[in-house]
Amino acid sequence: MPQRIYVDGEWLPASGGAAIQVVNPATEEPFDEVPRSGPKDVARAVEAAAAALPAWSARPVTERAGLCAAVAAALGERADELTETIVNELGMPIKLTRAIQVGSPIRTFMSMPEVAAAVAFEEPMGSSVVYRDPVGVVGAITPWNYPLHQIAAKVAPALTAGCTVVLKPSEVTPLDAFVLAEVMHEVGIPAGVFNVVSGTGPEAGEALAAHPLVDMVSFTGSTRAGRRVAELAAAGVRRTALELGGKSANVLLDDLGDAAFEDAVRKGVAACYLNSGQTCSALTRLLVPRERLQDAERIAADEAVTYTPGDPRDPATRLGPLVSAVQRERVRAHLRAAAEDGATILTGGPDAPDGLERGYYVRPTVITAVTPESRIAQEEIFGPVLVILPYDGEDEAVRIANGTPYGLAAGVRAADQDRARRVARRLRAGQIRINDGAHNGLAPFGGFKQSGYGREYGRFGLEEFLTTTSVQL
């Protein structure tokens, strides 16, 4: 049970008032709590980070990256504890939690020596030398859906770049951040280089984004909250990197044979339902040729019912609860509104799954008979809700895919790989999967339009935390 925040290498009491309860979404029962930080705590953490910046940024990049690799090794030793913690606070099925929620951040920290080696920190340019320097003090504000993973995506490259960090994790899933703070302390990250302040967005997050000693804010979350962060940062002309919402399209082209089409639809359901649909890059719109719409509806509905909701510790569970009562009601409200607007719910819907009246569960849902302009096809739902949309011809498929305010991710499936690549290049999305293209943790991740700006992971993620200085010789 975290009793204190981590600031300047010490565990200190917070001044924000009553502690914040952490609720297990599978039981609806509080099981832990974290301190509530206020603006004074944030200021103390930012001042510590600013004081630690000169010495940390002066250390060789190989040392900074090596310490990140040491963090990875120490997190690996606590993988069982982290898995248990994240299952309790988030509710993702345990096997997926271990592989994704714990495995991915470990890989991110471990990759830092390789990533740093790919960056030219000093580069001759004619009569000049161009240096890539750390941007400074970074305020990292992270979401609840991939808590440690999104922390690692910001903290590992920021520290490797030579920045110091104040982390404000989501108050909904904050506990893994305290494990990371313990690990940082144990491996010898100097005091003030990494700090954790737990609290709410209005109390701690806004204070962090607005603090005059913060040089950059890296935020992942909703588009609405991202606008507020950008507004606060802009007042001090602070750099921002924003990874926001998505309504990503999965385009199945008309050259797929029957078996390949069925396989694509079934995999499309999986690409929507990962983490109970609580994934910003989830492929939540399935675009199919109009003449194959009925086949797609049948296959998707058949596949959806195999995603058994239940206890995230049960190996048979394929779909855990949503993270909170607020999130559950938000998803249910979208489903009720879609039905009122005339959509056809093929399977699922707003009612609780049978036998799961307790816990923040939502039925795995497939929706059809909607227009591309409808709310359910335009707005991010953030639940296990797949919308099927028919198209007539490749050009219309591209128009529908690009026809939302978002542009975070997309998928294209086709028998002709070259054709799939041509279609993919017409999509305005930051990360596009062709057929069974594997996830690459070193490739850049980020979006177009209201999905934000800036990139995370690999060399591009590291460069987000660097600025340039040119010295004329």
Please identify every residue annotated as catalytic. 243
Residues 6+ apart with CB under 8 A from 306: 318
If 0-12 CB within 10 Å is exposed, 13-18 middle and 19+ buried, where does residue 419 land?
middle
Hunting for tokens 């929620």 — which residue is that?
101
Residues 6+ apart with CB under 8 A from 82: 75, 101, 102, 148, 176, 179
Could you tell me where the beta strands, DSSP code E, fall in 364-451?
A: 365-368, 385-391, 406-407, 409-413, 431-434, 448-449
User: Partners of 5 in the beta sheet?
Assistant: 12
Residues 6+ apart with CB under 8 A from 85: 175, 176, 179
| Alpha-helix runs per DSSP H in 236-382 | 258-273, 293-304, 325-340, 375-378
Contact assessment for residue 214 and residue 138, using Cβ atoms and an 8 Å cutoff: yes
Residue type, 419: R
Hunting for tokens 């005091």 — which residue is that?
191
Distance CA 473, CA 463 (A): 25
Distance CA 452, CA 378 (A): 16
